[in-house]
Amino acid sequence: MTLHAVLAASATLVSLAFALSTLDRWLARRKRHEAAWTISLFMFAAGSAALWVGAAVGWGEWSFKAFYLFGAILNVPFLALGTIELLAGPTHGRRWMAIVAMLSAFCTGMVVSAPLVGPIDPDVLPQGKDVFEAGPRIAAAVASGVAATVIFVGAIWSAVRLLRGRRRPGAPTSLPAGRLALANLFIAVGTLVLSAGGVLNSVVDEMDGFAISLVLGISIIFIGFLITNAGSAAPVPALAEPLAWRPPASEALVEEPALAS
């Protein structure tokens, strides 16, 4: 098995384990932000699986479309949606859920029906600009860029508030603020790594670069999630319980990391 196939398989397994962890929390607590994160992480797993298929057996139209849709367009917006649900409260959360759902349906139809404008080399990870017209490429750039900014800014903002001692009174967690701040920093760093696939292309080839950034990024975010479980007997709430890849808006202040709930 090639290196990129191994990396893609690793990213798939880590994403799936992460998704099952957030699913378990959602089943226990039925929190809306945990549902959004679970959907996002299953999409990460689907995108990683498509990368795995492309790396292992060769790229084709549908393996690339699945990879592009779940790995470049839909996954990060749902991750950011979980942040909005958590920090902006249910009223804003429902509004953004409707917006993200409608845009996701539109993007899914666009990618599925998009004609290929160039051939796909089965041995090379295709570039969107080589096989798609402008629509899917714009959707990927806007969706991943805006959502990743929401996640990164929110994680840093949450860590700063925690380190300054700004935790919501009566927050149901026994974990120290320093550990929660560290978890937020892992989430911020993981978000940057997920966006760094292009940088790695100067060191390794395109498929290896993307696979490395994917497995490292999702692993670092998963570590942030797991930090909040270590030594904690009770479930830990995430960044904040109301107030959004996390800005404020309501009565509660961020107190726990976005993916640590």
The predicted pLDDT at position 129 comes to: 83
The average pLDDT across 134-154 equals 85
Buried b or exposed e, range 169-204, using 16+ CB within 10 angstroms: eebebebebebbbbbbbbbbbbbebbbbbeebbeee
Write down the pLDDT at residue 232.
45
Out of 2-6, 22-26, 179-183, 215-219, pick the least confident.
179-183
What mean pLDDT is predicted for residues 115-136? Answer: 87
> Any residues with CB less than 8 A from the CB of 134 and at least 6 apart, and which?
none
Written as six digits, the tokens of 108 are 């899914």
In the chain, where the domains are located: 3-227
pLDDT digits (tens, 9 = 90+) for 58-105: 899 999 999 889 988 898 889 888 877 776 778 888 888 999 999 999
Burial class (CB in 10 A: 0-12, 13-18, 19+), 230: exposed
Query: Which class would CATH give 3-227?
Result: mainly alpha
Q: What is the pTM of this model?
A: 0.76
Residue 61's pLDDT is 92
| Whole-angstrom distance, CA of residue 232 vs CA of residue 98 | 34
pLDDT level of residue 171 (50, 70, 90 thresholds): very low
Check: CB of residue 35 under 8 Å from CB of residue 78. Answer: no
Token digits for 91? 């009223």
Res 66: pLDDT:
93
Q: Is residue 240 predicted with pLDDT exceeding 80?
A: no
